[in-house]
Amino acid sequence: MDVVSQGAEAVVFVTTSHPYCSQPAVENDKYIIKYRPSKKYRHPKIDAQITKNRTVGEVRFMNKLEKLGINSPSVISADYVNGIIWMEFIGDGLPNGDISSVKNYLWYLEKNDDDDGCVSDEVQSMLVAVGRLIGELHANDMIHGDLTSSNILLNGKEPYLIDFGLSSISSLAEDKAVDIYVLERAIESTHSVFADSYNKWLLKGYVQGNKKSKEVLARLEEVRLRGRKRSMLG
Amino acid sequence: MAFLSTKFPSFDKTIFISLLVDVDQHTLEEVKTKLIEGNKDYDFAFFNTNYIISKEHLLNGIHRAMINYKNGSAKSKTLNTEIILNMSPVSNIMEALKRFGIDSSKESANLLCVKVIDDDESLEDINNTLITNLGVSKDQNVELTDDFLLKSVDVAKFKKLYKLNDAKYNDKKPLQNQLTRLAIGACLLRGT
Amino acid sequence: MTVDLDKFKKPGKDYYLALGLEGSANKLGVGVIKHNLGQLSSENRAEVLSNVRDTYITPPGEGFLPRDTARHHRNWVVRIIKKSLVDAGIKGTDLDCICFTQGPGMGAPLQSVVIAARTLSQLWKLPLIGVNHCVGHIEMGREITGANNPVVLYVSGGNTQIIAYSRQRYRIFGETLDIAIGNCLDRFARVLKISNDPAPGYNIEQMAKKGKHLVTLPYTVKGMDLSMAGILSYIEVLAKDLFSSNPKKNKNLIDEESGELITPEDLCYSLQESLFSMLVEITERAMAHVQSNQVLIVGGVGSNERLQEMMELMVNERKNGSIHATDERFCIDNGIMIAHAGLLSYRMGQINDLKDTVCTQRFRTDEVFVSWRDD
């Protein structure tokens, strides 16, 4: 079992051992375990409640995505008391062995390809597909909450959303606009050279995925001007 | 002999699964009675196969029941009932037993027998005793496969039970796989 | 590369003296700080020559209103300034500049203090430096604790922010979406008629130490932001029902495990545990985000020992983590932090013309260009 990532809230492992089935109906023979360790600073009662609520919330969000046919890992099992989710492993890996996240893929191109390669038709159609995926998500009033190029994985050419630790349900254009804005900013800071093209393609796809994108895009303009936070007293 | 056994990586127990097909109504009624009496020979989780889409679906239910027992968060008195409850998308135990338990409403029905056992118990002995106690023929004891489950499941009723009629299905992927994933999701979210 | 802090030094003088005036809420604070020439460092510390404060304390069950607070500040400001100069052992004309809180805070109290600042400036012919209150807290915290580039949790009566430095700004990574933590505690104290002397938060902390049973309260963290209004209204209803004199409304709440009655102390304890868990959680998330392992807690609520203890437990789980907090002299609003941050600006050439000394209730931490840092 190897650690894939360690955030403030959860540790993510990859394993080859399925928790209960030798021939599961998922494509990969590797599995992801997301574990929310208990926090010593919290009162045990608060800690148990938070661990359970967050784990349940994430499973519920993922199950909803599964039902809607929006690309994301399938849930394999969950242990709410101990804050564990087993899920499908997504991605086929890059030639250099890295996890095939959009971030790693674009970085790989930056390192190994010329400028044209970084903005090729293939890259364009991939980012349009990513935008479409986020559009579909928002069309169903689902907010990811932490969109970055490392939270989108590529399985072949198909993008998949992962990490729903900050997800929520909302029909507000504001929340959707902020969701996109967070991604735009992440693209700017991680892929600064081609960020303008990348963000343009993402939005192109977004409009395809979300039929009611007009209000969101108008709101996005506002959010870009004022930043992520609404202005408030003190 | 036709039974399955498996182990889960995080538990020392062995899972025993045996399928008996076309068990007659009288026998099914009798099993029910023995169960209610608490007869030790009938210490199994008994299922009909109308609502089980795949082995993975079944194994998830068993696994979850064992996790709940370990965590002290089980909702039923015995592990067998907890297994049946964990196959269900609704929290009501009676409802789960009615849907998933022994189906004696027809002349004959399939009976799936599940038991969680210690390592030192002989699986063959358990299976033999089961067949003898129930008085079924050895030919009725067939191996449980996903193909068998797909044929015996009532897809329309299954979708209704798990509230999957509004789900979006992908024509390129096997329906059984998709239903397995969705049903497991529904089971995991039961009562949350 | 480091910035040159001495481009504007006075010939023949190898130090700077600044007076700071703070009155953005119910504390009136005046302090004098001394910087020697050169970069501030562990060998060249800022020297606190005086740090005087007077707090406007209201009766239990009452908050401080802007008008009354402003009156308090006006009544006391001359006395406090005089005491501050005496404590420092200097004359007004020895100073290099007058620093004042320009915001954020309550309008009327801010205005009554800036009038004092303007008067001193004209009286002694000294430049005026407007200071952002939050930046004052951050700079003073850094100076006192030696925390070089920490994630800052700023928790006070009017503010709840999680801040980290990046490219010459103190950027807000997370903050309250509604009321501030101190406000939440103060308003809860009013319901239970807890004394405002020396501070409602301090008294809640003492009561919480005697609390035994945890009452489950809402918990609202959204990424690096948090919301506290829901918790407050929930516990307010609980408190009113529990301690109502009307026997019909007086519902007893019983702890599930022990079967014992819930006490006011239990509510204080539960409120602190819930609110502080949220604060520590967003701090941890911000630390992971900016890959920092230092935390600095500033602001009045930062002097709470339970908050410090919880933060320490979190930080200890992180590699090379360290926690920095100041005591009540610097945590609670004070004049010295305004003097210190103002003096840093002054040394970089900032001077506010009289027309630019208008105070503002809204003044975001990230609006300030941090000219004195370039790391």
3-state SS string over chain B? Answer: CCEEEEECCCCCCEEEEEEEEEEEHHHHHHHHHHHHHCCHHHCCEEECCCCCCCHHHHHHHHHHHHHHHHHCCCCCCCHHHHHHHCCCCCCCHHHHHHHHCCCCCCCEEEEEEEEEECCCCCHHHHHHHHHHHHCCCHHHEECCCHHHHHHHCCHHHHHHHCCCCCCCCCCCCCHHHHHHHHHHHHHHCCCC
CA C104 to chain A, closest CA, distance in angstroms equals 5
Please list, in sequence order, all residues whose beta carbon lies within 8 angstroms of the beta carbon of residue B33, skipping any fewer than 6 positions away.
Answer: none
| Cβ–Cβ < 8 Å for C241, C250 | yes
Regarding whether C129 and C243 lie in a shared domain, the answer is: no
Mean pLDDT of the region C99-107: 96
Look at B185 and A68 and tell me if their CB atoms are within 8 Å.
Answer: no
- B3-188 adopts what CATH topology? PF0523-like (3.30.2380)
* Closest to A8 (Cα-Cα) out of C282, C307, C320: C282
Per-domain boundaries in chain B: 3-188
- A2-88 adopts what CATH topology? Phosphorylase Kinase; domain 1 (3.30.200)
- Work out the pLDDT band at C249, boundaries 50, 70, 90: low
CA B112 to chain A, closest CA, distance in angstroms equals 18
Regarding whether C260 and C283 lie in a shared domain, the answer is: yes
Mean pLDDT of the region B142-156: 96
What pLDDT shows up at residue C247?
A: 67
Which chains have 3 or more CB–CB distances shorter than 8 Å to chain A? B, C
- Number of residues written out for chain C: 375
Residues of A whose CB is below 8 A from B73: 80-81
What pLDDT shows up at residue C256?
A: 83
Look at A41 and C159 and tell me if their CB atoms are within 8 Å.
Answer: no
Active-site annotation holds for A196: no
Return the sign of the alpha-carbon dihedral for residues A65, A71, A74, A78. negative
Regarding whether C303 and C242 lie in a shared domain, the answer is: yes
Look at A8 and C285 and tell me if their CB atoms are within 8 Å.
Answer: yes
Q: Determine, yes or no, domain membership for C76.
A: yes
Look at A63 and B186 and tell me if their CB atoms are within 8 Å.
Answer: yes
The chain A residues in contact with chain C (CB within 8 A) are 7-9, 39-43, 45-46, 49-50, 53, 145-146, 166, 168, 229, 231-234
Catalytic residue among A47, A79, A98, A146: A146
Q: How many domains does chain C have?
A: 2
Regarding whether C272 and C209 lie in a shared domain, the answer is: yes
> What CATH number is attached to the domain comprising C192?
3.30.420.40
Nearest Cβ partner for C317 among A40, A45, A53: A40
Q: Given a cut of 60, is residue B65 above it in pLDDT?
A: yes
Which chains have 3 or more CB–CB distances shorter than 8 Å to chain C? A
Regarding whether C351 and C206 lie in a shared domain, the answer is: no
Single-letter amino acid code for the residue at A79: D
Q: Determine, yes or no, domain membership for C360.
A: yes
Mean pLDDT of the region C278-305: 94
Please indicate if any CB of chain A lies within 8 Å of the CB of C277: yes
| Cβ–Cβ < 8 Å for C70, C112 | yes
What is the average pLDDT score of chain C?
A: 93
End-to-end CA distance of chain C: 8
Please list, in sequence order, all residues whose beta carbon lies within 8 angstroms of the beta carbon of residue C288, skipping any fewer than 6 positions away.
Answer: A7, A8
Look at A231 and C362 and tell me if their CB atoms are within 8 Å.
Answer: yes
Look at A8 and C281 and tell me if their CB atoms are within 8 Å.
Answer: yes
Judging contact as 3 or more Cβ pairs under 8 Å, the answer for B and A is: yes
Look at B188 and A66 and tell me if their CB atoms are within 8 Å.
Answer: no
Please indicate if any CB of chain A lies within 8 Å of the CB of C223: yes
| Cβ–Cβ < 8 Å for B188, A77 | yes
CA A88 to chain B, closest CA, distance in angstroms equals 11
Nearest Cβ partner for B167 among A22, A67, A82: A67
- Work out the pLDDT band at A232, boundaries 50, 70, 90: very low
Domain A102-226 has CATH 3.30.70.20: no
- Give the 3-state secondary structure of residue A146: coil
Domain limits at C337?
15-141+332-367
- Residue, of A231 and A71, whose pLDDT is higher: A71
CA distance to A232, C188, C207, C263, per residue, from C204 (Å): 27, 9, 5, 13
- Structure confidence by residue, pLDDT tens digits, C223-236: 889 999 999 999 99
- Structure confidence by residue, pLDDT tens digits, A186-222: 999 889 899 999 999 999 999 999 999 999 999 999 9
Q: Given a cut of 80, is residue A228 above it in pLDDT?
A: no
Per-domain boundaries in chain A: 2-88, 102-226
Nearest CA in chain B to A17: B9
The residues pairing with A161 across neighbouring beta strands, listed in sequence order, are A152
